[in-house]
Copies of this chain bind each other. A is one copy, B any other.
Amino acid sequence: MVDIAIMGYGVVGSGVAEIITTHTQSLKKRAKEEINIKYILDIRDFPGNPLEDKFTKNFSDILNDDDVKVVVEVMGGLNPAYDYVKQCLEKGKSVVTSNKELVATKGAQLLQIARDKNVNFLFEASVGGGIPIIRPMSQCLAANDVIEIEGILNGTTNFILTKMIRDNMSFEDALSLAQSLGYAEKDPTADVEGYDALRKICILASLAYGKHVYPDGIHTEGISKITLDDVSYAEAWGGVIKLIGSVKKLDDGRLDIFVAPMILSKHNQLASVDDVFNGIMVKGDSTGDVVFYGKGAGKMPTASAVVADVIDCIKHFKARKYLYWADGDNSEYILPYGESVCAMYVRVKYADGVDIHSVVDDIFGGAQFINKQNPVENEAAFITNKMTVDHFHSLAEMLECNDVKIESQIRMGEE
């Protein structure tokens, strides 16, 4: 029998406890040991809970009990999660977490402690909820160099965009609906402005390239500026707008990494990933494109990924898993966003008398205008050739000098 502790009895924590107490026999078969929840750490009381006698408010109960071999951290946030996890690892306990903020900002350091102490620090649930992605990337794709990762990593924003695209709902209405369904938090900033997706793409990038990629300073655009006008132009062009986390290894070894809304062709496999689902495309030099798809969040999917990691810890007490990346410095290997190359969708309003086609053609050296069914007077949308983001901005300024106002600009996905 192996004793474990669960830190945090929120949505995911209670799901972990539920799986462990209801799947006892099948888990025992898979782990070759019975899993016993010895402690649940939470500052709240849960009177009448069947696990009531396991609850503690005192972290040191867990830290100082040498019987506890595996600690599950599902509190979320950096404090006190970081401090607790660090202490557990230093005490020689394996830790499993679903906490993407923790892994994205402190991963290298915690992985190093785990390595030094010969214990495991696993975090499958931190990206893609119940979709297996960390493990397949680190193991099955071991014989590949990862060239590119592109993912719909946040279910809340994908739900909002899907409602905008399918039901012509405004951003505000779709956000309210997401909140009323429990998909979005009261303060939706982390989802809507792309910070959640950023943490996840940083974790995947760190794993793929072996050096820690810190979220700080990486270009992050959310979806709050996306309008139904843009949705309909994208549709007229034959595409959909998705919030994408993307990282690509350039020939010079640097990483082109960002989070931004992008217009994807309907032929792109991620274009059909709708609602709260996540989809992650990993391009390996040998495998080609491999796509993982499923529910990226939610109590039971996330909890099941946590429990799978717990089983893995128990099976590997003697042979540590080789999940690892080194610490590093973004400035050494992250491409400044201004140097990132893409085609750009642009929607503009222009003054009466402006010959918009010739102005745009002159400035951008040609562009593909999008014709939609109900054209709006003095409005146009076009797609530029590929250029660096910096170059685009300098041309965009010239546009504004010609009585043309840019209403929105969205990266185009690769063909």
Q: Which A residues contact B (CB, under 8 angstroms)? A: 15, 19, 23, 26-27, 30-32, 124, 129-132, 135-136, 139-145, 269, 272, 284-295, 298, 300-301, 303-308, 310-312, 315-316, 318-319, 322
Shortest C-beta distance, A5 to chain B (Å), equals 17
Instruction: Across the interface, name the chain B residue whose C-beta is closest to A15.
Output: B286
Query: What are 10 A-B pairs with beta-carbon distances under 8 A?
Result: A27-B142, A131-B290, A135-B136, A141-B304, A143-B304, A287-B301, A287-B305, A290-B295, A292-B293, A315-B322
A139 x B135 contact (CB < 8 A): yes
Q: A269–B293 contact, CB under 8 A? A: yes
Chain B residue at minimal CB-CB distance from A319 = B319
Contact A293 B293 (CB under 8 A): yes
Q: For A15, what are the chain B residues with a Cβ–Cβ distance below 8 Å?
A: 286
Q: Determine which residue in A31, A136, A143, A298 has the highest number of CB atoms from chain B within 10 A of its CB, and name it.
A: A143
Please measure, in the bound complex, the distance between the C-alpha atom of A32 and the C-alpha atom of B142, giving whole angstroms: 12
On whether the beta carbons of A143 and B287 are closer than 8 Å, the reply is no
Known A-B contacts A140-B124, A141-B304; A130 and B319 likewise in contact (beta carbons under 8 Å): no
What CA separation (Å) do A296 and B136 show in the bound complex?
16
- The listed residue (B19, B135, B288, B310) touching A135 by CB distance below 8 A is B135
Is the pair A295, B301 in contact by a Cβ cutoff of 8 Å?
Answer: no
Residues on the B chain within 8 Å of A272, using CB: 269, 272
The residues of B that contact A319 with a CB separation of less than 8 Å are 315-316, 318-319
- Contacting residues, chain B, for A284 (C-beta < 8 A): 130, 304
Query: Does B145 contact A26, Cβ atoms closer than 8 Å?
Result: yes
Q: A311 contacts which of B32, B143, B269, B303 (Cβ < 8 Å)? A: B143
Instruction: Report the Cα distance A31→B291, complex, angstroms.
Output: 25
Chain B residue contacts of A140, Cβ below 8 A: 124, 132, 135-136, 305, 308
* A124: B residues at CB distance < 8 A: 140
Q: Is the CB of A301 within 8 A of B288?
A: yes
Given contacts A136-B135, A272-B272, contact A143 B307 (CB under 8 A): yes
Tell whether, in the assembled complex, residue A23 and residue B291 are in contact, meaning their CB atoms are under 8 Å apart.
Answer: no
Top 6 A-B residue pairs of the complex, sorted by shortest distance between their CB atoms: A132-B140, A143-B307, A286-B304, A130-B287, A290-B294, A132-B136
Closest to A287 in B: B130
Q: How far is the CB of A206 from chain B (nearest CB, A)?
A: 15
Given A287-B300, A289-B294, A318-B319: A132 and B141 interface contact (C-beta under 8 Å): yes
Query: Assuming A272-B272, A304-B144, is B286 touching A32 (CB within 8 A)?
Result: no
Whether A301 contacts B286 by the Cβ 8 Å rule is: yes
**Residues in B whose Cβ lies below 8 Å from that of A287:** 129-131, 294-295, 300-301, 304-305
Whether B318 contacts A139 by the Cβ 8 Å rule is no
Across the interface, do B308 and A142 meet the contact criterion of CB distance under 8 Å? yes
